């Protein structure tokens, strides 16, 4: 039997050699359990410490958003170039091939649409997140929204509790209401509230001034949303400035899938996030790809 035979010659105990123990590469995550770290290490590249996440969950509040009318045609060709995909379970099950083998940031909350009053959210069942092998549970908080601040923080808290139970990290997403200013003061407050309530990663917006205050006031990795479509050079500059101010990655949607060369943009963003390229170098990459892959 294998157990008897295996014990006969056991002698390589490496006496005198200290057992190797390595830290964990993401800030604030060193004390997490194995499953949490394993999932985070699928989303964030352990070599660069960074991630390029592709967000296409917009339809859950906006319906058939421009660029997402036919996800099978516009998003599926991009999957290979993303480190992680962020979408709803409806799109995942209907259109995303399980063979794409990308870690999933699952939109774990669902709520009101642009037709009424945003941010009135509920949560899905954790068992369904486990079933689809979620690597992150994305839950939105509307800090400063008098109508929905409390309920969305309760949702985040519940998400963290459920994620802890199953070893799935939580991505706290800061939604900025219409009347709030996206400055460092607000974004650091909202992001810090997410982390204080147990979010393992925070997704927020970039701000032109003092973004390093946002990343430094939060003890966990921050990824930035891209926001509305910008000229490609501006979007690349934003990604560059965010990474250089301490962001651990981007979770971009419209600036990728609404670009005239979505693959070119993804490659360009990757070169900034993972390889430290400048916006100019990244823009050249985007342009080269666009010119050599004309439809
Ligand atoms: C909405 C989201 C979106 O996924 C997010 O805004 C990313 O997309 P974009 O780069 O288009 O802003 O989290 O709550």
Question: Who's near 21: CB < 8 A, 6+ residues apart?
Answer: none
Domain boundaries defined on the chain = 27-292
Q: Is the CB of 251 under 6 A from ligand 1?
A: yes
Please state the atom number of ligand 1 nearest to the C-alpha of residue 226.
10
Beta-bridge partner residues of 204: 224
Q: Which of 11, 27, 178, 203 is catalytic?
A: 203
Tokens of 286: 């985007």
> How far apart are the CA of 226 and the centre of ligand 1, in A?
7
CB 169 within 8 A of CB 153: no
Q: Is the CB of 182 under 6 A from ligand 1?
A: no
pLDDT-based confidence at residue 2 (cuts at 50, 70, 90): low
pLDDT-based confidence at residue 10 (cuts at 50, 70, 90): confident
Q: Which own/partner contact pairs does 9-15 have at CB distance under 8 Å and 24+ positions apart?
A: none
pLDDT-based confidence at residue 11 (cuts at 50, 70, 90): confident
> How far apart are the CA of 156 and the centre of ligand 1, in A?
17
Which residue CA neighbors atom 4 of ligand 1 most closely?
55
- Residue 94 pLDDT exceeds 80: yes
Q: Is the CB of 51 under 6 A from ligand 1?
A: no
Q: What number does CATH give the domain 27-292?
A: 3.20.20.70
Question: Across residues 73-94, what is the average pLDDT?
Answer: 98
Which residue CA neighbors atom 8 of ligand 1 most closely?
253
Per-residue pLDDT, 4 = 66
Q: Is the CB of 169 under 6 A from ligand 1?
A: no
- Residue 3 pLDDT exceeds 70: no
Question: Who's near 251: CB < 8 A, 6+ residues apart?
Answer: 51, 53, 54, 55, 84, 86, 105, 203, 223, 224, 225, 226
What's the rounded Cα separation, in Å, for the pair 73 and 67?
9
Per-residue pLDDT, 6 = 65
Residue 47 appears among annotated catalytic residues: no
Per-residue pLDDT, 73 = 97
235-to-59, 103, 207 alpha-carbon distances in Å: 22, 24, 12
Query: Taking the chain, what is the end-to-end CA distance rounded to the nearest angstrom?
Result: 62
Interhelix angle 232-244/279-292, rounded to 10 degrees, is 140
Q: Is the CB of 227 under 6 A from ligand 1?
A: yes
Residue-wise pLDDT tens digits, 142-173: 999 999 999 999 999 999 999 999 999 999 99
Pocket test of ligand 1: the residue of 65, 251, 255, 269 to mutate, having most ligand atoms within 8 Å of its CB, is 251
Q: Is the CB of 225 under 6 A from ligand 1?
A: yes
What's the rounded Cα separation, in Å, for the pair 6 and 29?
37
Q: What is the pTM of this model?
A: 0.95
Question: Across residues 181-204, what is the average pLDDT?
Answer: 97
Q: Is the CB of 121 under 6 A from ligand 1?
A: no
Which residue CA neighbors atom 12 of ligand 1 most closely?
227
Residue-wise pLDDT tens digits, 224-277: 999 999 999 999 999 999 999 999 999 999 999 999 999 999 999 999 999 999
The rounded percent of the chain whose pLDDT value lies above 70 is 97
> How far apart are the CA of 201 and the centre of ligand 1, in A?
15
């Amino acid at each position: 039997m294998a157990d008897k035979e295996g014990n006969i010659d056991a002698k390589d105990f490496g006496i005198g050699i200290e057992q190797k123990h390595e830290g964990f590469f993401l800030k604030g995550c060193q004390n997490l359990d194995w499953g949490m770290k394993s999932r985070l290490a699928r989303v964030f590249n352990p070599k660069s410490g960074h991630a390029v996440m592709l967000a296409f969950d917009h339809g859950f509040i906006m319906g058939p958003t421009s660029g997402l009318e036919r996800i099978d045609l516009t998003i599926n060709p991009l999957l290979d170039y993303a480190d992680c995909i962020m979408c709803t379970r409806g799109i995942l099950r209907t259109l995303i091939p399980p063979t794409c083998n990308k870690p999933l940031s699952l939109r774990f909350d669902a709520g009101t649409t642009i037709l009424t009053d945003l941010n009135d959210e509920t949560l899905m069942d954790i068992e369904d997140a486990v079933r689809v092998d979620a690597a992150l549970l994305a839950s939105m908080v509307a800090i400063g929204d008098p109508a929905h601040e409390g309920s969305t923080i309760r949702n985040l808290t519940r998400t963290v509790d459920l994620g802890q139970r199953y070893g799935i990290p939580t991505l706290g997403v800061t939604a900025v209401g219409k009347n709030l200013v996206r400055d460092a003061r607000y974004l650091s407050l909202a992001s810090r509230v997410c982390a204080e309530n147990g979010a393992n990663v925070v997704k927020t917006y970039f701000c032109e001034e003092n973004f390093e205050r946002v990343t430094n006031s939060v003890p966990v990795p921050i990824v930035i949303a891209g926001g509305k479509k910008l000229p490609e050079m501006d979007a690349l500059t934003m990604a560059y400035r965010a990474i250089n101010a301490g962001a651990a990655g981007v979770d971009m949607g419209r600036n990728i899938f609404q670009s005239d060369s979505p693959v070119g943009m993804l490659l360009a963003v990757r070169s900034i996030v993972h390889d430290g390229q400048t916006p100019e170098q990244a823009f050249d990459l985007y342009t080269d790809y666009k010119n050599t892959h004309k439809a």
